[in-house]
């Protein structure tokens, strides 16, 4: 029982760290910082999921590697947040009013000393292009998120209504969905 409680608390704290770190990046570092952090976090979890899918379940290598990556997730989230805040914060944003297309292909890259700096440097083509595409992808997927949120809210309301109906009327409701011990179900039906 204690192991289960520790697992629940640990999972809740981990979920809270992910859920609260993304708005923190947007609030403290600005839009570019939040986009960079969410993109880096998505890339990390994409590759973590790919690792779990690509390796056989019975493999010792997979077990060790997956456990290692799972145990350092806290450190990865904090590191990505610090990295995005230091690299993409509002203070370093000199042309924040321009769109990513204008920043990338606007011709104001004369200060770059080489092609490498133009491509991979601060506010370079790769950075502007990847953050711009990520921004557009998130903007266009807002209706999908809103539909999913509405559907989940509907399911929660329906489940709460069924549980309330069962608690008030004691008519059994959907008690087959709950894993009750057999003795307690017989006791409930005998008390009617």
Instruction: Give 94-149 as a DSSP string.
Output: SSTTS-HHHHHHSS--TT--SHHHHHHSTT-HHHHHHHHHHHHHHHHTHHHHHHHH
Distance CA 93, CA 28 (A): 13
- The reported pLDDT for the residue numbered 50 is 92
Task: Find the mean pLDDT for residues 129-149.
Answer: 83
Residue 2 CA neighbour count, 13 Å, CB half: 0
Q: How confident is the model at residue 55 (pLDDT cuts 50, 70, 90)?
A: confident
Angle ∠(25,70,60) on CA atoms, nearest 5: 155
Tokens of 162: 């069924």
Summarize pLDDT for 7-35 with one digit per residue, the tens.
888 888 888 888 899 899 988 888 888 88
Helical (H) or strand (E) element with 159: helix 142-169
Q: Which residues are CB-contacts of 81 (< 8 A; sequence separation ≥ 6)?
A: 21, 24, 25, 37
**Rounded CA separation 159/22 (Å):** 30
pTM higher than the cut 0.85: no
pLDDT tens string 81-105: 998 888 887 765 455 555 544 555 5
In the three-class reduction of DSSP (H, G, I as helix; E, B as strand; rest coil), residue 5 is classed as: helix
Does the pLDDT of residue 137 top 70, yes or no?
A: yes
């Amino acid at each position: 029982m204690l192991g289960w409680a520790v697992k629940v608390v640990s999972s809740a704290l981990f979920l809270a760290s992910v859920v609260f770190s993304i708005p923190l990046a947007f609030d403290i570092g600005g839009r570019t910082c939040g986009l960079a952090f969410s993109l880096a976090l998505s890339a990390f979890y994409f590759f973590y999921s790919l690792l779990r899918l690509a390796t056989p379940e019975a493999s010792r290598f997979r077990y060790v590697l997956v456990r290692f990556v799972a145990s350092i997730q806290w450190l990865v989230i904090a590191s990505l947040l610090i990295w995005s805040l230091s690299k993409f914060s509002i203070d370093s944003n000199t042309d924040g009013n321009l769109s990513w297309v204008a920043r990338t292909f606007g011709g104001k890259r004369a200060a770059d000393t080489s092609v490498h700096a133009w491509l991979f440097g601060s506010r370079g083509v790769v950075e502007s292009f990847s953050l711009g595409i990520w921004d557009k992808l998130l903007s266009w997927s807002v209706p999908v998120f809103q539909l999913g949120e509405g559907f989940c809210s509907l399911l929660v309301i329906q489940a709460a209504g069924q549980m309330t109906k069962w608690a008030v009327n004691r008519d059994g409701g959907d008690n087959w969905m709950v894993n009750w011990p057999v003795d307690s179900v017989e006791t409930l039906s005998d008390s009617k």
